[in-house]
């Protein structure tokens, strides 16, 4: 347990690390259907044709909360170019708890409640936040461990838009 907490704390202290997916450039992202904070089912296929950032986070994760204002800004600034940020709770939390964070952080992108199943399919480990980059064709492009830095966005995500 202590090791996990230390890893999470260290992830927030250093810029995110980008790892191309080991599955290869043609690997498709696993599909999913999760409930949002209002109880509606949202599917990855709802965002077909967009560059999707799946951002796995936890309400208690300080680096996750520190990253949220930047994700809100990216969603506003690049939505018209085809960017879609999707937050996925890890592990699952109550809808009320998640709604409180949405209000506090003024989140403008969907927040979905995971049961750990989707995080497992996307091989999300101990480091939060973890962001999965999916291109317009629904393929894995990168896994970003820790906070997404502006330089990383410019280098690895912006060219996909």
pLDDT in tens, the chain (161 residues): 433 443 444 444 444 544 444 445 568 999 999 999 888 999 999 999 999 999 999 999 999 999 999 999 999 999 999 999 999 998 767 788 899 999 999 999 999 999 889 999 999 988 999 999 999 999 999 999 999 999 999 999 999 99
pLDDT score, position 27? 85
Can you give 20-43 as a three-state secondary structure string?
Answer: CCCCCCCCECCCCEEEECCCCEEE
Number of domain units in the chain:
1
Q: What is the pTM of this model?
A: 0.84
φ and ψ at residue 146, rounded to 5 degrees: 90, -170
pLDDT score, position 26? 61
CATH number at residue 105: 3.40.30.10
pLDDT score, position 80? 98
pLDDT score, position 6? 37
77 Cβ neighbours under 8 A, 6+ residues apart: none
Tell me the two tokens of residue 158.
Answer: 């912006």
Q: Containing domain of residue 57, as a range? A: 2-160
- Integer angstrom CA distances of residue 136 from 30, 44, 105: 14, 12, 27
């Amino acid at each position: 347990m202590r090791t996990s907490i230390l890893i999470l704390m260290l992830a927030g202290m250093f810029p995110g690390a980008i790892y191309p997916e080991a599955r290869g450039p043609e690997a498709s992202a696993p599909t999913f259907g999760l409930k949002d904070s209002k109880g509606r089912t949202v599917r990855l296929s709802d965002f077909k044709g967009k560059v999707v950032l799946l951002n796995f986070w936890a309400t208690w994760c300080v680096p996750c909360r520190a990253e949220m204002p930047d994700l809100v800004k990216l969603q506003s600034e690049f939505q018209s170019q085809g960017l879609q940020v999707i937050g996925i709770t890890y592990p699952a939390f109550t809808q009320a708890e998640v709604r409180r964070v949405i209000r506090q952080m003024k989140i403008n992108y969907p927040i979905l409640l995971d049961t750990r199943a989707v995080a497992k399919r996307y091989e999300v480990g101990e480091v939060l936040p973890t962001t999965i980059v999916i291109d317009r064709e629904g393929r894995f492009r990168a896994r970003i461990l820790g906070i997404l830095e502006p330089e990383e966005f410019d280098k690895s995500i912006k060219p996909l838009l």
